[in-house]
């Protein structure tokens, strides 16, 4: 689950990182374009030119104020009106009003014109006042003076108050401020780009950190619940059907957990029912087999007793003949009772198989000792004295196998497996005895007809092979050969091969049967055991 958890976190980081990277690239490109536009040399030059033009325009306006006032002081018409006798103030004001209209424009106007004698005479000044039209918050005033001399020698002080819109000066100040700001930005261009990059990196790092933390916490909560389900599934796979997983939340995982718990409960109930039915079926099969096996010997016993009862009257005066009849009946009864004892003994052995206790064993040496200590194997299996050379670890590995002998498939290191010698000996004895009986019943040659050998199996396993040249097993019987109570022999109980398979399985191994081996028949049992 750890790998799944980290995959979820990595996926969330990837999903978060992709838009961040794309946004960073786009923003970086936009910043570069913006900076390139903002710090374009043409823009800078244009801004400087605009500031200079505005400055010169204001200077021109200032000179114009001086020139216009000087021209007014020397204007012949104006001077003629000043020399008029008697003076004509109304005509002078009318002329001045016309002059104002002539010199005014949107960026300059005249707020007031004042005339007073320059010789100190007490004559009241002539004033044309228009200041009420020009509020101080919108117009800046500039007074310009000059001396007007008439032809008769009179001197007048002329003062013209000009007004200029404050907006003109504010625009000039704004352009100057913009130029200074541009210079500062130009000097800070590198630091601006670096600051943006740092800010973007910090923001991206914070987003990724939050994503990682959120993904880690969420995935841990999710994978822990999935981990509990996985561990519970493993326990169910090992046969523990009592496991239950706590249900947390109301999401799909919670629904899956509830379904898992229901499934396990249903499987447990089904297993209990099947186990009960299997036990009942097993006892029914045992009862049927026992009834069948007991019925067979009881019939001749009953017939023998009935014969004794029928012949009692006939043989009252012939005790010797009756005695022979009783002896014959006793022989029949004894044989059948012995059959019953054998049946009971085999059932008892099957029911009380001891627990397997395997120990590391050289399987080749084990087979050699098995054959040496069981002379009843002859002549089907070779005598022990003939096996020493073929089982010797130092013998040639490419020697052809000899029928009728226990032999190793490869020389060299011993083939060691965990073997309970007593139980494995019992299993192999059963296989050899079955093969002997099949060969003898079929009337086939017995000499060397059974082969026992050891083979190196898949890595970590050893195979014991019991092969015979008997009549073989019918194909339709192969699937039932290891079932309890299945037998093809008239005097068999059907427990021998079932015991063999249980012993092999208790060793942690497996057993398979192959038959026929060729057109003449033959059977091969292969016992696979884990190496020790």
pLDDT 10s digits, 325-364? 888 888 888 888 887 787 777 777 666 677 889 999 999 9
What pLDDT is recorded for position 290? 72
User: Taking the complete model, does pTM exceed 0.75, yes or no?
Assistant: no
CA distances from 425 to 353, 367, 378, 529 (A): 13, 9, 17, 14
Distance from C-alpha of 13 to C-alpha of 7, rounded to nearest angstrom = 10
Q: What is the pLDDT of residues 113-140, one digit of tens each?
A: 888 888 766 667 788 888 888 888 888 8
Q: Alpha helices of 484-524 — where are they, by DSSP H?
A: 496-506
Q: Alpha helices of 39-115 — where are they, by DSSP H?
A: 41-73, 76-83, 89-103
The residues with which 436 forms a beta bridge, in sequence order, are none
The residues with which 140 forms a beta bridge, in sequence order, are 164
Distance from C-alpha of 531 to C-alpha of 457, rounded to nearest angstrom = 9
What pLDDT is recorded for position 72? 85
What pLDDT is recorded for position 189? 64
Distance from C-alpha of 236 to C-alpha of 230, rounded to nearest angstrom = 10
Q: Cβ distance 70 to 144 under 8 Å? A: no
Which has the closest alpha carbon to 354: 426, 408, 303? 426
What percent of the chain is modeled with pLDDT above 70? Answer: 83
**Residues ≥6 apart with Cβ < 8 Å to 270:** none
What pLDDT is recorded for position 445? 92
Question: pLDDT tier at 450 (50, 70, 90 boundaries)?
Answer: very high
Is residue 232 scored above 70 in pLDDT? Answer: yes
Q: What is the pLDDT of residues 451-469, one digit of tens each?
A: 999 999 888 899 999 999 9
Q: What is the pLDDT of residues 279-304, one digit of tens each?
A: 777 767 777 777 767 777 787 888 88
From the centroid of its chain, how far is CA 158? 98
What pLDDT is recorded for position 426? 92
Length of the chain as a residue count: 532
Q: What is the pLDDT of residues 468-490, one digit of tens each?
A: 999 999 999 988 888 887 787 76
Per the prediction, the chain carries an average pLDDT of 79
Question: pLDDT tier at 383 (50, 70, 90 boundaries)?
Answer: low
Q: What is the pLDDT of residues 171-212, one digit of tens each?
A: 777 777 776 776 666 666 666 667 777 787 788 778 778 877
Residue 257: which H helix or E strand, with range?
Answer: helix 252-311
Q: What is the pLDDT of residues 27-44, one digit of tens each?
A: 777 766 666 555 556 666
């Amino acid at each position: 689950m750890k790998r799944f958890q980290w995959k979820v976190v990595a996926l969330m980081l990837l999903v978060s990182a992709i838009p961040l990277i794309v946004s960073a690239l786009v923003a970086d490109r936009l910043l570069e374009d913006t900076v390139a536009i903002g710090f374009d040399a043409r823009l800078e030059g244009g801004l400087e030119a605009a500031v200079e033009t505005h400055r010169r325009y204001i200077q021109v306006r200032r000179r114009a104020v001086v020139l216009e006032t000087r021209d007014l002081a020397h204007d012949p018409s104006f001077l003629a009106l000043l020399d008029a006798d008697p003076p004509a103030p109304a005509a002078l004001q009318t002329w001045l009003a016309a002059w104002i209209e002539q010199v005014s424009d949107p960026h300059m106007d005249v707020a007031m014109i004042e005339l007073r004698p320059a010789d100190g005479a007490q004559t009241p000044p002539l004033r044309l006042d228009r200041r009420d039209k020009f509020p101080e918050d919108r117009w800046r005033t500039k007074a310009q003076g000059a001396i007007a001399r008439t032809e008769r020698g009179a001197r007048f002080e002329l003062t013209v108050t000009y007004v200029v819109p404050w907006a003109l000066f504010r625009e000039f100040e704004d352009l100057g401020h913009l130029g200074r700001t541009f210079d500062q930005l130009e000097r800070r261009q590198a630091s601006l780009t670096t600051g943006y990059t740092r800010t973007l990196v910090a923001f991206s790092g914070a987003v990724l950190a939050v994503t990682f933390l959120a993904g880690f916490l969420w995935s841990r909560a999710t994978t822990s619940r999935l981990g509990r389900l996985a561990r519970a599934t493993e326990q169910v796979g090992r046969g523990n059907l009592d496991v239950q997983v706590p249900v947390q939340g109301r999401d799909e995982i919670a629904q899956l957990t509830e379904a898992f718990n229901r499934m396990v409960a249903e499987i447990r109930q089904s297993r209990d029912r099947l186990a009960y039915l299997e036990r009942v079926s097993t006892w029914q099969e045992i009862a049927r087999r026992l009834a069948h096996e007991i019925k067979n010997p009881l019939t001749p016993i009953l017939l023998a007793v009935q014969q004794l009862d029928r012949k009692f009257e006939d043989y009252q005066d012939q005790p010797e003949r009756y005695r022979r009849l009783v002896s014959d009946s006793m022989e029949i009864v004894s044989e059948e009772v012995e059959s019953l004892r054998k049946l009971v003994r085999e059932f008892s052995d099957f029911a009380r198989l001891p627990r397997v206790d395997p120990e590391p064993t050289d399987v080749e040496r084990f087979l050699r000792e098995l054959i040496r200590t069981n002379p009843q194997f002859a002549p089907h299996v070779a005598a022990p004295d003939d096996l020493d050379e073929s089982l010797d670890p130092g013998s040639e590995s490419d020697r052809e196998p000899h029928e009728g002998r226990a032999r190793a498939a490869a020389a060299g290191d011993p083939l060691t497996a965990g073997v309970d010698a007593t139980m494995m000996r019992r299993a192999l004895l059963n296989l050899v005895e079955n093969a002997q009986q099949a060969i003898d019943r079929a009337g086939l040659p017995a000499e060397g007809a059974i082969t026992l050998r050891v083979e190196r199996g898949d890595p970590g396993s050893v195979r014991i092979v019991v092969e015979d040249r008997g009549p073989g097993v019918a194909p339709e019987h192969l699937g039932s050969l290891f079932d309890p109570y299945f037998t093809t022999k008239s005097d068999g109980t059907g427990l021998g091969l079932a015991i063999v398979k249980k012993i092999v399985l208790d060793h942690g191994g497996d057993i398979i049967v192959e038959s026929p081996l060729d057109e003449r028949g033959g059977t091969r049992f292969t016992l696979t055991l884990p190496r020790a």
